[in-house]
Amino acid sequence: FRAGMSSDFIQEKGCSSNKCAQLSFSATLGNERTFVYDHRCCQAEQCNKQDFQLSQKPSNPNGIECPACYTENDMFCDSVLLKCTGAETKCVEVIVAINGISYLSLFGMGCATETACNLRNVTVVRDTKIHTYCTGATNGTPPMMPIFSPILTSFFLLKVLL
């Protein structure tokens, strides 16, 4: 999991008796916030010993544009139009809920890979869970966000339940 332009990098390794499901995705949200996630599975002895490198995201625009914004501890933000790059061909709304000493939530919109679409309550790092909802690409003007979009409804329920 890598977040932000500052290239924060978190790598977790371990063994689990749970069934492992591989998942890789990336998303670029407003305020130049970039998230890359790569969950890998292996079954050989000490197969997770090596560190792994996340691939660099291509910077070439792909013709898709999405409304983009990013905010912490709020569920609304003013969007601007973002030109998507590389394999990020879907427009996404993202809620990140971080439990710990205190509760922190992040909300963002932007471009994402198709594998980032419609994730529900997925734990990405320790006590960090994400919810995503993909929407259609825009043709030049940021759309008004519906008041009761599925992702905001999830966020409201998350706040109520926690």
Q: What is the pLDDT of residue 80?
A: 95
Phi then psi dihedrals of residue 69, to 5 deg: -160, 170
CA distance linking residue 51 with residue 99, whole number of Å: 27
Phi then psi dihedrals of residue 79, to 5 deg: -100, 150
Residue 26 three-state SS: strand
- What DSSP element (H or E) covers 105? strand 104-112
Tens-place pLDDT, residues 3-56? 444 445 666 677 776 777 788 889 999 998 988 888 888 888 887 787 767 667
End-to-end CA distance of the chain: 24
Average pLDDT in the chain: 77
CATH class of this structure's domain 2-161: mainly beta
Name the percent of the chain lying above pLDDT 90. 30
Is the pLDDT score of 1 beyond 60?
no
Nearest residue to 117 via CA among 84, 154, 88: 88
Q: What is the pTM of this model?
A: 0.73
Q: Where are the domains of the chain?
A: 2-161
Burial of 147 (0-12, 13-18, 19+ CB in 10 A): exposed
Q: What is the pLDDT of residue 108?
A: 94
DSSP H helical ranges for the chain: 150-161
